[in-house]
Structure 1
Amino acid sequence: MVQYNTKDWIIFIFRFHKSDTFRQLLPLMIFIGIYCAIIRFLEIEYWKLGEESLVRNVSLMHGMLGFVISLLLAYRTNTAYDRWWEGRKLWGALVNNSRNLAMKLSVMLEHESDKHFFQKVIPAYASILSKHLSNEESALVLFEGLDLHIDHQKHKPNQVAKMLFSKVNDLYQSKKLTGDQLIVINSELQSFTDICGACERIKNTPIPYSYSAFIKKFIFFYIMTLPFGYVFSLGYLAIPVVVFTFYVLASLELIAEEIEDPFGLDANDLPTAKMAANIKKQVEDLM
């Protein structure tokens, strides 16, 4: 995730980060500029269309459709940001529940070997969930010092959650935890699977294809017809105007595409690996 100072206006304007949409759209912007120049040459120089040409009135269509496309893009970006923000809230809950569970167990347990187990496995859940959501393989080094194994062919976060429940049950059977203490920590244990399921729902349910495809087609045809009417009133000045219009509209769609899956490896995705590392540090401090 990109870290930045919201007050650095000058840096925002003149600096082009690798995740900036300008870099991604530059080839298409050049193409749109050349296309617009060709339309200008054909209409004015080659076909010699005059003021009475009906082609001049094509811009009326853009005036009517501009409001529609702005509504579509506003809804698109808001929906994508809602998914990003929900993912951030879920990982915030995972951080808090991991700390609460570690805090409670550090007080309830007396044997260091039991504390050592949870000191390793509680942060391991966050780390494995981070890799699971970004489709990375989990490393067994997370369980160094413990006789635990992860089957990479099965659901990895569920395996770790099962280990936690199994260990808690063993502690209860051996009278190291009372029934009341078991009830106290049950909500944190259960929340791990609830958070995992909610994150998977976000990741595995993209924006409907027909909706996303329609917006892309709408932007394409809107931009490709834009020069036909604008070249009469703006001449070659229509080239930068059309290119800039394309940059604005396409950038909004690109931003929405990037943040609608907040668990990937893009620059603006959630720093789940960093949050998992923070969970590890805090759990070790508590226990």
Structure 2
Amino acid sequence: MVIGVNIRAARILYRMWAGLLLHSLFVVVVNFALDYLAIDLSLSGVISMIGIVLSILMGFRISSAYDRWWEARKIWGDVVNTSRSFAGQLIAFTHQSGLPRKHLESVIYRQIAIVYAMGYSLRQQRYTDIIKPFLAEDEHRQLIGKQNLPNLLLLHNLYAVKLLEKDGQLTNFEMLRLSDMISHLTASFGASERIKNTPFPLPYSYFTSILVHLFALMVPFGMAELALLTVPVSIAVIFIFLAIEQIAIEIQDPFANRENDIPVIALSKIIEIDLKEMLGDVVLPSRRQPRDGILM
């Protein structure tokens, strides 16, 4: 996620420079041809109407992409809050029960592993070594090769909570409270998977992109009456539409491991720090720092 306020123009232009360059060359060629052939065009009214209609369509396009991004951010906000609540209530519920620290740590450390597994799996990156320090060796060995580790880890924590209730460390009400939070985490992970595995509607994104480029080809014909200003004004208009299209592409998949995506690994690190601090650990990891204004 981009968090720097000094975003350079080069970063914005990086992914759209080729299209902008081609359209700019086309604008120059059309402007030169119209001047050379002394053709007088007056299509500004038609181009303006098309531009207005396309602007409305682009507004819906970027709004739909942002809705996906914002939903993903809210889901991971719930993951952070639910993880803190789960650890806090488990610690409070077992405070007077005489539960050995290693048993408490195993459940809370597994919760840390769950969040890391969620984040890395959504980005389709390897994470078995990442979660290894938070799990017992035999449990980690048992999980290697499984297809949905976050789901299995949530199940293991559910078993652990149920076992604590069976051993008298938790009351039935407390067990149900913690179980509800595990269910909520399962739902959050499922919602994240839904966003990840449901591609943005291809006809919507594809034809919008086609229309933007077709409009860009028409722009110099509508600006011909501006004489010397035809080239700069045409390029400026084309740049605006290409930039809006690129912004929509950048944010429509919030778990694609790109610079504008949800910083799931940084959020997982925050959860690790908070939960370890709640346990009373003295040695805590450092927060993930942004690089060049980008937090991943």
Specify if TM > 0.5: yes
Of residues 257, 274, 281 in structure 1, which corresponds to 2:249? Answer: 257
Matched to 1:4, the amino acid is G
State the Cα distance separating 1:141 from its structure 2 match. 4.4
Matched, 1:48 2:38: yes
User: 1:14-93 residue pairs with structure 2 within 5 A?
Assistant: 15-16=8-9, 18=11, 20=12, 22-45=13-36, 47-49=37-39, 51=40, 56-93=41-78
Matched, 1:119 2:111: no
Matched to 1:100, the amino acid is S
- 8 Å contact kept, 1:172–1:179: yes
- 8 Å contact kept, 1:102–1:119: yes
- 8 Å contact kept, 2:83–2:111: yes
Matched to 2:4, the amino acid is Y
Distance 2:199 2:59 in 1: 17
In the alignment, what sits opposite 1:163?
156
Distance 1:238 1:213 in 2: 29
Structure 1: runs of 5 or more not aligned: 6-10
Distance 1:240 1:24 in 2: 21
Task: Give RMSD over aligned pairs.
Answer: 1.7
Distance 2:238 2:145 in 1: 44
Matched to 2:104, the amino acid is K
Of residues 112, 128, 149 in structure 2, which corresponds to 1:139? Answer: 128
Q: 1:25 to 1:141 in 2, by over 3 A?
A: closer
- 8 Å contact kept, 1:120–1:143: no
State the Cα distance separating 1:17 from its structure 2 match. 5.3
State the Cα distance separating 1:86 from its structure 2 match. 1.1
- 8 Å contact kept, 1:161–1:189: yes
Q: Percent identity?
A: 26
| Number of equivalences | 271
- 8 Å contact kept, 1:97–1:188: yes
Q: Secondary structure of 1:131's partner?
A: helix
Distance 1:33 1:61 in 2: 21
Matched, 1:268 2:260: yes
Question: How does the TM-score come out when normalised to structure 1?
Answer: 0.88
Of residues 190, 200, 206 in structure 2, which corresponds to 1:197? Answer: 190
Matched to 2:206, the amino acid is A
